[in-house]
Amino acid sequence: MQFKYPELLWGLLLLLIPILIHLFQLRRFKKTPFTNVKFLKQVVSESRKSSTLKKWLLLITRMMMLAALVLAFAQPFFANDTALKEKEIVFYLDDSFSMNAQIENGNLFQNTIQDFIKYAPTDTRFTLFTNKEVFKDVEISEIQNELLNINVSSEQLKIDEIILRGNTFFSKNTGTQKNLVLISDFQQRLGTISKTDPIDNLHIKYIKPYSNFIANTSLDSIFISNRTNENIELTAYLSTNTEEESIPVSLFDNDKLIAKTAAKFNGSKKTEVSFTLNAKETILGKITISDNGLSYDNEFYFNIDKNPKIKVLAIGNSPSGFLERIYTDDEFVFTNSTLDQLNYSSIENQDLVVLNEIENLPSSLVTALRTLTKNGGSFTLIPAVKGNNNSYNDLSSAHYATQYGNSSAQELSISEIKTGHPLFQNVFDKKVSNFQYPKVNEHFKISTKGPVAIALQNKDPYLVGDSNAYFFSAALNANNSNFLNSPLIVPSFYNMGVNSLKIPPLYANLGTDISVEIPLKLQQDDIIKISSSVNEFIPQQRILPNKVQINFTENPKSAGIYKIVHNDSILRHISFNENRKESELLYSPLPENNSSTSISNFFLESQKSNAINEFWKWFAILALVFVIIETLLQRFLK
């Protein structure tokens, strides 16, 4: 037994008062006349016995009454060690998309919030934070309306980030018990959950509010699988964690249903469906499915606009037929010029300039190309076999410190393709083992800090560069290389051309850095706006002489199709979708010693561990009982 005010126990010394009174109380004898003295001895004997019993009963009663009063004021109680410690508690509530699943009795996220409001003690102050919100040092009554209005989002902290951030909300007082409570579904992508608390003096509790299986089917991605002058074949990938055989898939153009099909899984967890679209029409598309799992991955937005043609200029005396076959009229405006007939003023209007085996680069051409790249354009340098590497270095040294060295007359094969390089992203579906690699007879040694796209078998770079500058180490003519006959020739040069003007993609993911370029000459105070049916914002934009570069970083915040607008004129569209990383519903195991299956169980267990059983009322009642006993003794015991 413990006491809230143990210093009051000194009051037990008051028990000496009734003892002293009963030991030293002097009584006056009262004379009683008797008519007959023969009964005197018997009366005296009986009175003395009765008086002694009453005296001891009153002494015990008064002592017990005083003891009960002293103990009542000292406030005795029973409690474990943790209940007596000063505590701070911080809650993390996962508000990511995976918590928004539909379950048997409603929505998982809304049910979790309602349980928290229902079972959280009304007299406890705490801090609660989500992936994007913070409620510091509050009681549940102060924030229950704000909690009910929280919406899920794609933002998601990792486990270690949650713990580090939660630890910042505690005070610096080392004497308090710090409790961090994590409420989440704990997907595997959040990271590994440690069985021990990673921070000293921090007690972590994990609550998974729903542990049953959640069925979900997701629209994962889309891409253009085939394109002709007349039609575009659009393919959508779907995945599921159920045994579902098929699911309806609908295609809308600006809210108008234009196609519907069924995605058949046939026992697999992944499948695809295809739609055929008119290549000559602008499509503001949305593909939808319907399932009872997560809702955010049931829609996929995309748009197909009429793209501006990319301007490509080839300079050199070498044959350029392979470039003409790659840069076709449907997507590009291709022109070819010899160095002698070159109009230097036309360079600034190009998106891509290909230097096709020019032996010596004039300084005027180098200057024009530097201006081109400064204004957002790109170039590709294909050296001549007998090229002047010093003139090449005047141009290349400004890009990744690239330097052309001496020429090496050694036949080598191309042996390494960097499939992660921007030129080859989405080109190879899988690693090819029987690929026929081309050869070169003579090449320049290149030193560079830039990303290598293709390497020779001796690890020398063959194609290096990114963004607005690309450098080959060898001539491409048939006498020096068979690269022109290789399957690599088309994706290499095609993607150089496509990347030279950053046309809005088929779609982009929210939260990623996206840069697009609009071929438009803006005046000094002109701006471009991005708008949808519900909001409008001004993106970061860089005005170049012949185009505007738009960067999407923090905005937009929600999925949909957005208009790129200038002076109330729609230039084109760009589509954004939520990243599908939360659709794979795989969960991490929780440590058994500090996890709970529901919010209600957690608060009940907390109340039990922090419970203090007080007994002062019982001692007050006991003191009153002894007062009544004393009164009865005085009245009825003679």
CATH classification at residue 255: 2.60.40.10
Q: Are 259 and 363 part of one and the same domain?
A: no
Average pLDDT over residues 492-516: 88
Query: 332 to each of 31, 232, 465, how far by Cα in Å?
Result: 138, 18, 22
pLDDT in tens, 27-70: 445 565 656 655 555 555 555 566 677 777 777 887 888 888 87
Q: Are 131 and 187 part of one and the same domain?
A: yes
Question: What is the pLDDT of the chain when averaged over all its residues?
Answer: 85
Give just the sign of the alpha carbon dihedral 285, 580, 425, 261.
negative
Q: What is the DSSP letter of 510?
A: T
> Which region holds residue 528: left if phi is over 0, alpha if psi is between -120 and 50, else beta?
beta
Rg of the chain over CA atoms, in angstroms?
42
Q: Are 350 and 465 part of one and the same domain?
A: yes
**Contacts made by residues 600-603, CB under 8 angstroms, sequence distance 24+:** 600/115, 600/118, 600/119, 602/119, 602/181, 602/205, 602/207, 603/119, 603/120, 603/121
Q: Which residue has the higher pLDDT, 501 or 22?
A: 501
CATH classification at residue 589: 3.40.50.410
Task: Specify which residues 334 forms β-bridges with.
Answer: 312
pTM to 2 decimal places:
0.72
3-class secondary structure, 462: strand
What's the one-letter identity of residue 446?
I
Give phi and psi for 234, each to the nearest 5: -105, 130
pLDDT in tens, 165-186: 999 999 888 778 888 999 999 9
Tell me the two tokens of residue 220. Answer: 């994962």
Closest CA to 203 of 89, 76, 92: 89
Q: Are 125 and 142 part of one and the same domain?
A: yes
Closest CA to 307 of 328, 327, 331, 329: 331
Q: Are 465 and 486 part of one and the same domain?
A: yes
Q: Are 536 and 605 part of one and the same domain?
A: no
Task: Specify which residues 440 forms β-bridges with.
Answer: 412, 481
CA 450 to chain centre: 31
pLDDT-derived band at 277 (thresholds 50, 70, 90) equals very high
Q: Which of 480, 500, 520 is the last residue of a domain?
A: 500
Domain membership of residue 558 as a residue range: 508-577
- E-strand spans in 139-269? 177-183, 202-207, 217-227, 231-240, 246-253, 256-264
Q: Are 359 and 263 part of one and the same domain?
A: no
How many domains in the chain?
5
pLDDT at position 371 over 50: yes
pLDDT in tens, 354-363: 999 999 999 9
Q: Are 89 and 174 part of one and the same domain?
A: yes
- What pLDDT sits at residue 94? 94
Would strands 177-183 and 202-207 be described as parallel, antiparallel, or unpaired?
parallel
pLDDT at position 258 over 90: yes
Q: b/e per residue, 121-151, with b = 16+ CB within 10 A?
A: eeeeebbbbbbeeebeeeebeebbeebeebe
CATH classification at residue 454: 3.40.50.880
- What pLDDT sits at residue 49? 61
Q: Which of 500, 519, 547 is the last residue of a domain?
A: 500
Q: Are 603 and 627 part of one and the same domain?
A: no
pLDDT at position 26 over 50: no
Q: Are 236 and 180 part of one and the same domain?
A: no
pLDDT in tens, 450-488: 899 999 988 899 999 988 899 999 999 989 998 888 888
Q: What length is written for the chain?
A: 638
Q: Which of 527, 555, 577 is the last residue of a domain?
A: 577
Give the position of tokens 């009429």. Answer: 306
Q: What is the DSSP letter of 512?
A: S
pLDDT at position 285 over 60: yes
CA 351 to chain centre: 37
Q: Are 453 and 519 part of one and the same domain?
A: no
Tell me the two tokens of residue 86. Answer: 């000063």
Would strands 443-447 and 403-408 be described as parallel, antiparallel, or unpaired?
antiparallel
Percent of the chain with pLDDT over 90: 40
> How far is it, in rounded angstroms, from Cα 288 to Cα 298?
6
What's the one-letter identity of residue 585?
L
Q: b/e per residue, 258-291, with b = 16+ CB within 10 A?
A: ebeeebebeeeeebebebebebeeebbbbbbbeb
pLDDT at position 425 over 80: no
Q: Which residue has the higher pLDDT, 73 or 202?
A: 202
Q: Are 117 and 265 part of one and the same domain?
A: no
> How far is it, in rounded angstroms, from Cα 586 to Cα 571?
42
